[in-house]
């Protein structure tokens, strides 16, 4: 029987690449996103059994609808990938966009993490991967303040949950993918004018799945990024925030 994976935010970028690589590994898939046409086109192009589930996960009711649809289906891997970003000075960015960011990056992820892990415990095992960001490993991110804060929540929640499961000797695995810049449409949606150099979605997802296989709690794709994240922990918080601000400010320059 084929393994079964669920991917949120599957219509583009990292989510679509998870779908491609897991399909090539023989997984049956449930692809979740708002954009029905993109989901159907992706599902039709994959060499495995794929279902689509159209939902706006910013709505807690839609998160619960997804969990209800999965209640009787054993899950091998759940990729909590749906997310968004907002770039700009905090006093100038749109409050509505920031609240929408928090609805997806924090509230939806929290609801789905709790619901899925409870289901994985009932079924006796399985894996959940939350897609965070290297931003979540930094003290702060001037000019992407809400985004950095939301990803810090993802890192902290996942790390705490992983330790609870370890102490309980649970067979359930949870991990957090913490990529740096990835070449996707994220920058366009987040109003980034000048994207920073990044890695391909293919490389990012290969690293992610290798990390899941090794049951790593925090997965940082690529040695250069991992080294940079380790080095920044040695810096004073104020200096680290200043450096992050200088880097993020470059994104605003057209």
27, 143, 147, 173: the active-site residue: 147
- Judged by DSSP in three states, 181 sits in coil
Q: How far is CA 102 from CA 5, 19, 111, 150, in A?
A: 25, 25, 13, 7
What is the dihedral angle through the alpha carbons of 140, 227, 79, 183, rounded to the nearest 10 degrees? 80
Active site residue 147: yes
What are residue 185's phi and psi, to 5 degrees?
Answer: -80, 5
What tokens were used for 61?
Answer: 């009711």
Q: Where are the extended beta strands (E) located within the chain?
A: 4-8, 28-33, 50-54, 77-80, 126-131, 172-177, 218-219
Active site residue 151: yes
- Judged by DSSP in three states, 191 sits in coil
Q: Of the candidates 116, 113, 4, which has an alpha carbon nearest to the alpha carbon of residue 51?
A: 4
What tokens were used for 99?
Answer: 């609240």
Quote the DSSP letter at residue 125.
-
Q: Of the candidates 101, 87, 140, 85, which has an alpha carbon nearest to the alpha carbon of residue 252?
A: 87
27, 151, 173, 251: the active-site residue: 151
How do 28-33 and 50-54 pair as beta strands?
parallel
Q: For tokens 């997965």, what's the residue?
A: 219
Catalytic residues, which ones?
147, 151
């Amino acid at each position: 029987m084929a393994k079964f994976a669920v991917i949120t935010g599957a219509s583009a970028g990292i989510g679509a690449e998870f779908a491609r690589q897991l399909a090539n590994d023989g997984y049956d898939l449930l692809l979740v996103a708002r954009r029905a046409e993109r989901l159907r086109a992706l599902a039709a192009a994959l060499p495995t059994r794929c279902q689509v589930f159209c939902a706006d996960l910013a709505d807690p009711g839609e998160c619960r609808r997804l969990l209800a649809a999965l209640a009787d289906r054993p899950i091998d891997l759940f990729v909590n990938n749906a997310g968004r970003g907002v770039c700009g000075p905090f006093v100038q960015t749109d409050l509505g966009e920031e609240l929408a960011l928090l609805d997806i990056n924090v509230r939806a992820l929290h609801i789905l993490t709790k619901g899925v892990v409870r289901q994985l415990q009932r079924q006796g095992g399985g894996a959940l991967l939350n897609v965070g960001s290297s931003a979540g490993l930094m003290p702060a991110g001037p000019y992407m303040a809400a985004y950095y804060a939301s990803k810090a929540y993802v890192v902290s929640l996942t790390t705490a949950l992983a330790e609870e499961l370890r102490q309980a000797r649970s067979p359930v695995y949870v991990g957090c993918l913490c990529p740096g810049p990835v070449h996707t449409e994220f920058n366009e949606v987040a109003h980034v004018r000048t994207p920073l150099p990044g890695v391909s979605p293919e490389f990012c997802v290969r690293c992610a799945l290798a990390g899941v296989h090794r049951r790593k709690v925090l997965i940082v794709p690529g040695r250069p990024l991992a080294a940079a994240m380790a080095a920044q922990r040695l810096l004073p918080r104020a200096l680290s925030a200043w450096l992050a601000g200088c880097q993020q400010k470059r994104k605003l320059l057209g």
